[in-house]
Amino acid sequence: MSAWAQRRKRPTEDRLRIGRFDRTAGNMASFETLSWQSGDGLTLRARLYPGDSARTTVLCLPGLTRNARDFEDLAAAIAPERQVICLDLRGRGESDYARDPATYTPAHYVEDIERLLVEQGVERFIAVGTSLGGLLTMMLAARAPDRVMGAVLNDIGPVIEPSGLARIREYVGQGRSFETWMHAARALSEAQGDIYPEFETSDWLRLAKRLMVVGSGGRIVFDYDMKIAEPFESDDGATPAPDLWPLFDALSERPVVLFRGGVSDILSADTAERMKERHPALDLVTVPGVGHAPTLDEAPCRAAILRLLGRLP
Boundaries of every domain in the chain: 3-162+240-310
Q: Which fold has domain 3-162+240-310?
A: Rossmann fold (3.40.50)
Amino acid 100 reads D
pLDDT grade, residue 275 (50/70/90)? very high
- 229-238, 245-254, 261-270: least confident range: 229-238
pLDDT of 197 strictly over 80: yes
pLDDT grade, residue 18 (50/70/90)? very low
Sign of the dihedral through C-alpha 257, 301, 137, 125: negative
Q: If we measure between CA atoms, which residue out of 209, 225, 70 comes closest to residue 152? A: 70
The arithmetic mean of pLDDT across residues 286-299, rounded, is: 97
Identify whether the C-beta of residue 149 lies closer than 8 Å to the C-beta of residue 125.
Answer: yes
- Overall size of the chain counted in residues: 313
| pTM, 2 dp | 0.90
The arithmetic mean of pLDDT across residues 30-38, rounded, is: 97
pLDDT of 22 strictly over 60: no
At 214, give phi and psi (nearest 5°).
-75, 120
Sign of the dihedral through C-alpha 216, 219, 223, 225: negative
Q: If we measure between CA atoms, which residue out of 157, 173, 187 comes closest to residue 274? A: 157
* pLDDT tens track for 38-47: 999 999 999 9
pLDDT at 237: 54
Pairing of strands 32-37, 43-49: antiparallel
* pLDDT tens track for 135-178: 999 999 999 999 999 999 999 999 999 999 999 988 888 889 99
pLDDT of 231 strictly over 90: no
pLDDT of 199 strictly over 50: yes
Burial environment of residue 161 by CB neighbours within 10 A (0 to 12, 13 to 18, 19 or more): middle
Whole-number Å distance between alpha carbons of 245 and 164: 19
In this structure, the number of other CB atoms found within 10 A of the CB of residue 95 comes to 25
pLDDT grade, residue 16 (50/70/90)? very low
